[in-house]
Structure 1
Amino acid sequence: MSEIDRAALIGALPYARRFARALTGSQSRGDGLVGEALRGGLAPVGGGRDAGMAGRLALYRAICRIASDAPDPEEAPGAALDRTQRMLLLLTSLEELETDQAALALGLAVEQAAAHLAAARNHLRAGAVARVLIIEDEPIIALDLQQLVEAAGHEVVGIAASEDEAVAIAAAERPSLVLADVNLGAGGDGTSAVARIMRTHQAPVIFVTAYPERLLTGQDLEPAFIITKPFEPTTLAIATYQAVTRGVHLDPV
């Protein structure tokens, strides 16, 4: 780690946690993967436009290497997307890397990475269909989210503008995926709503927030999937695919 700027590495940790959690579908497993990457030592990776990106790429490279070497018990044989494709989709959508940077993280030629990405995007709709609860207090944003979720092939079973409404809909509909904003204005807090829902119902959760670093501290109850506002439709499609096909949820702490 001595060859990598320490401040840049510290700044890269929230991004690494977000990637590792989305990849594994678990706060605990994802953070454990980041810890293993740090303990194993990090080597500089070319392609960083600045120190911050250099730190991120070094962490991504170590995480991808460890994940590729270890068997994944939740990766079903014959799945539409293999592990390399999942990693590339997450790196280019959730982490917003360029294709050449994602290729560096995985040790692939740019042409190989581009081919894998094209194939992966063609298979996005092959995942299981989810029954989605949207927790969002802004009506226009909620309708936009509904349209995006349905365009990805999923069913919206309810839209909640407050904590209490979210809990009530979840109890009645038993969604298989929850898509939650963090700040619900006068309606409360999205993280609190999810925590209440999870007391009686387990389902994958994707948080949508303009401040992802607040949910990536490695403490308390945290999500495996976080999308940063504003986001592209493909980012939501990839996050829902990864959440649904892995059948994951928030880890109790």
Structure 2
Amino acid sequence: MAWNTTAAPEVGSEKHGKNEGYFPDMDTTAEISRALPYLRRYARALTGAQASGDNYAAATLEAILSDRSLLGQTSSIKTDLFRTFHGIWSTSGAPMEEEEDATRRAAQKHLARLTPNTREALLLHTVEEFTYSDIARIMQVDQSEAEELVSLARAEMADAVCGKVMIIEDESIIAMDLESLVTEMGHRVTGIARTHKEAVDLAGSDMPDLILADIQLADNSSGIEAVNEVMTDMGSCPVIFITAFPERLLSGERKEPAFLIAKPYTQEQVRSAVSQAMFFSSTETLTA
């Protein structure tokens, strides 16, 4: 599915059919457009694949086009968008895409043992940066329950899987911080690569279970290209991109990562993404 992330359906567009003129103003359309890439990111992380995640995002837009009352349920268009998504997601039984790959099937079995709704709450809080009160509105639960779900998710996922992590990052302070965070979580860091070549060499000597990668490296090489070469040569593993340029990977013009964190990041975001990625391998190789 090709997405134009710069524009939501236009006000008064003829393709709306019976919903023509549905959006109240262009500001609302613009807000939906700004929130859509983040809804797609969230949907990918939940479903395990870009295609299935985009199907849910598309269904969310269709629901809003069909029922104007879905907007205005909260004080934020973005929160309304996620709330609508959750209504569709929970009604469908929160399915994950069927995987042929044995590693991903095993990850899905792990997920099946999680307390219901914990993973969604954790992603909403630590990756999408919603407040507990917003999460409560999105998931239609009490705020105290939202807080409990996030706490429980942290504990369940942190205890579930440990493995080897490779860091591709040219900024020394950030690389050291990431190494410390990952080590504290019980994972082993295979090494830190500052360039494309270093990353490929490091993966060749000790293939990781997870890669943390910036997209712009010290020698002006691409972290995306480095990750793709590692995947081509040695097989797939989950990848978390941590970058000051998230818009480069949320363009809707090519395959996008399920796990993407913008700099400056918080420690909670990294811990959550690492746990998620280790718990549920959701990688689709990017085209550089």
Structure ID, larger Rg: 2
- Alpha carbons of structure 1 residues 159 and 252: separation in structure 2 relative to 1, 3 Å: closer
Where in structure 2 are the equivalents of 1:1-253 lying within 5 Å?
2=23, 5-41=28-64, 43-48=70-75, 54-68=76-90, 69-70=92-93, 71-72=95-96, 75-76=108-109, 79=112, 81-200=114-233, 201-251=235-285
Per-residue CA distance 1:67-105 (angstroms, 9 max, x = gap): 222333564267563341111111111111110001111
Q: Flag the structure with more relative contact order, 1 or 2, with Cα contacts below 8 A and sequence separation at least 6.
A: 1
Q: Which amino acid aligns with 1:123?
A: E
Describe the shift of the 1:28–1:224 C-alpha distance in structure 2 as closer, same or farther (beyond 3 A).
Answer: same
TM-score, with normalisation over the residues of structure 2? 0.79
CA contact (8 A) 1:157 1:175 kept: yes
Distance between the aligned counterparts of 1:230 and 1:190, measured in 2?
Answer: 18
> 8 Å contact 1:28–1:251 — kept in the other structure?
no
Provide the C-alpha distance between the structure 1 equivalents of 2:111 and 2:39, rounded to a whole number of angstroms. 28
**Deviation of 1:45 (Å):** 4.8
- Contact preservation (8 Å) 1:177, 1:205: yes
Indicate if the aligned counterparts of 1:18 and 1:225 stay in contact, CA closer than 8 A. Answer: yes
In 1, the alpha carbon distance for the partners of 2:248 and 2:77 equals: 20
RMSD over equivalenced CA pairs, Å: 2.1
**Greater mean alpha carbon deviation, residues 173-182 or residues 14-23:** 14-23
- Mapped to 2, the partners of 1:14 and 1:76 lie a distance apart of 28
Give the aligned residue type for 1:14: P
Q: Is the 8 A contact 2:71 2:81 kept in 1?
A: no
C-alpha displacement of 1:142: 0.8
Structure 1 residues 11 and 185, CA, compared in 2 at 3 Å: closer, same or farther? Answer: same
Quote how far apart the aligned CAs of 1:3 are: 5.1
Structure 1 pair 183/119, CA: closer, same or farther in 2 (3 Å)? same
Give, as a single letter, the amino acid of the residue that structure 1 aligns with 2:241.
Answer: F
Tell me how far apart the structure 1 counterparts of residues 266 and 35 of structure 2 sit (CA, whole Å): 22
Instruction: Check the 8 A contact 1:31/1:218 in 2, yes or no.
Output: no
CA distance in 2 between counterparts of 1:198 and 1:78 reads 24
Tell me the TM-score normalized by structure 1: 0.89
Deviation at 1:31? Answer: 2.1
In structure 2, give the amino acid aligned to 1:239.
Answer: A
Contact 1:64 1:87 (8 Å CA) reproduced: no
- Contact 2:257/2:286, CA 8 A, preserved across alignment: no
Letter in structure 1 aligned against 2:83: R
Aligned length: 248
SS at 1:40 equivalent: helix
Amino acid at match of 2:256: E
Equivalent pair of 1:132/1:179 in contact (CA under 8 Å): yes
Whole-Å Cα distance in 2 between the matches of residues 58 and 28 of structure 1?
Answer: 23
Structure 2: state its 5+ residue gaps.
1-21, 99-104
Q: Residues 170, 77 of structure 1: CA spacing in aligned structure 2 closer, same or farther, 3 A cutoff? A: closer
Percentage identity across aligned positions? 36
Distance 1:252 1:226 in 2: 12
Aligned letter for 1:62?
T
Cα 1:78–1:40 change in 2 (3 A) is closer
Distance in 1, Cα, partners of 2:109 & 2:71: 33
Q: Which residue of 1 aligns with 2:5?
A: none
- How far is the alpha carbon of 1:171 from its aligned partner? 2.1
